[in-house]
Each structure stands twice: as C-alpha cells, then as structure tokens.
C-alpha cells in the first residue's frame, strides 16, 4: 500500500518512524494504554523498535496502515490510529487507536478517526465497505469515540479476545460505507 499522510490542519497522521521510538516508548507507559491496548508489558524501547520496524513496516507493505498522530506536520507522535484488513478480505478493516494521556478530551482522536474513516471508505483511498471496531468491555472512552462516529453496536463477544494470556470479553461495532458519519443511537445504556 502506498504510504500517505492525512491532515485536517489540526492533526497530522503519518507513518511512525525511527525518530518516534522514544515518544512511543514514553506513551506506552500509561496505565490506561496498558489496560486497553494489546501491547507487550512491560513496554520497553525494544518493543517500540519492533513496532516501527516490523508491525508498521508490514502494515504499510500490506493493507494495514498505521499512522502516528501529531499536532504538526513533523511534530512529536502523541498516539496512533490504524486500519487493518484481514487476509483475503480487502473490503473490511478493523480500526484501532490510542492517545497519550496529556492529549485526551481535546477532540484529537475524533479528528484522527474522521480522517481515517474518510480515507478507508474513499474509493481512491482503501475503498472499504465496512470498518469495524472492538474494545475490551469497560473501555468507555473508546466506545464513546466509536459511537460518535456512526459505528453501530453489534454485540458482546464473550471471552472474544486474548490480552496477555487472559481471555476477555469485548464489545463490537461497525460502520458501513453507506452509514451516516454522525452519532449512532443503537448502543445499550451504560456503554
């Protein structure tokens, strides 16, 4: 897949690179990221090296782009957002994201999700039909982002995900290319 930068003039999404290793390592010390994101723990610089050198590189080589979230074109990485297609299905992708604690509740992740969904659905981008989301039960901030961006709740997968050797329940939601981008109203109370 051809590498691309996405921006709305407030956030810039570009491929994480070697110069981002320290920022990634620092961000991944956050207890909330450790709790909700499937990263190694403890997370060290070697994990960031593997992430940039292997996961990011393989993602851009295939149809699994990973962008670093920045506040300027060449700014410091403050989070990531990704779209990952599954093997043998180029029409659907899973969205994933995290943001450093000092930058939350400012609408930055919403801007990043908007850019990535627009790119994902655009025929000149990835041409997706479906973008799906999942999060461990209890990750209310992630659910709020998904709901705000038109992802419709599809259910609970009991022990549907593995996290550091432990099976955990996760919520599921998806947005189709034909769904409106605004808030989805079909979510159960309390999520």
CA 1 to CA 64: how far, in whole Å? Answer: 8
9-34 mean pLDDT: 96
- 157: β partners: 170
Going from N- to C-terminal start, the domains of the chain cover 6-176
pLDDT digits (tens, 9 = 90+) for 81-140: 999 988 788 899 999 999 999 999 999 999 999 999 999 999 999 999 999 999 999 999
User: Is the predicted pLDDT of residue 156 greater than 90, yes or no?
Assistant: yes
- To the nearest whole percent, how much of the chain has pLDDT over 90? 87
Q: Structure pTM?
A: 0.94
Fold of 6-176: Aminopeptidase (3.40.630)
Q: What is the enclosing helix (H) or strand (E) of 145? A: helix 140-148
9-37 mean pLDDT: 95
Helix axes 140-148, 108-121, angle to 10 degrees: 50
Is the dihedral angle over the CA atoms 78, 57, 59, 157 positive or is it negative? Answer: negative
Through-space distance between the first and last CA atoms of the chain, rounded to whole angstroms: 35
pLDDT at 131: 97
Kindly state the DSSP code that residue 166 receives in the 8-state scheme.
Answer: E
């Amino acid at each position: 897949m051809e590498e691309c930068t996405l921006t709305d003039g407030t956030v810039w999404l570009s491929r994480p690179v070697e110069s981002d290793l320290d920022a990634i390592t620092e961000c991944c010390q956050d207890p909330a990221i450790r709790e909700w994101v499937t990263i190694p723990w403890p997370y060290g610089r070697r994990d960031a090296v593997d992430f940039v050198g292997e996961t990011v590189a393989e993602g851009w080589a295939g149809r699994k782009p990973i962008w670093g979230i920045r506040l300027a074109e060449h700014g410091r990485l403050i989070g990531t957002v990704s779209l990952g297609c599954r093997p043998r299905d180029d029409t659907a992708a899973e969205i994933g994201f995290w943001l450093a604690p000092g930058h939350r509740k400012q609408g930055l992740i919403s801007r990043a999700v908007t850019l990535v969904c627009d790119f994902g659905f655009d025929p000149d981008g990835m041409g997706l039909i479906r973008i799906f989301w999942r999060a461990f039960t209890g990750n209310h901030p992630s659910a709020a982002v998904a709901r705000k961006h038109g992802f419709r709740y599809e259910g609970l997968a009991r022990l549907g995900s593995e996290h550091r050797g432990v099976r955990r329940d996760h919520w599921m939601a998806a947005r189709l290319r034909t769904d409106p981008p605004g808030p989805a109203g079909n979510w159960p109370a309390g999520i």
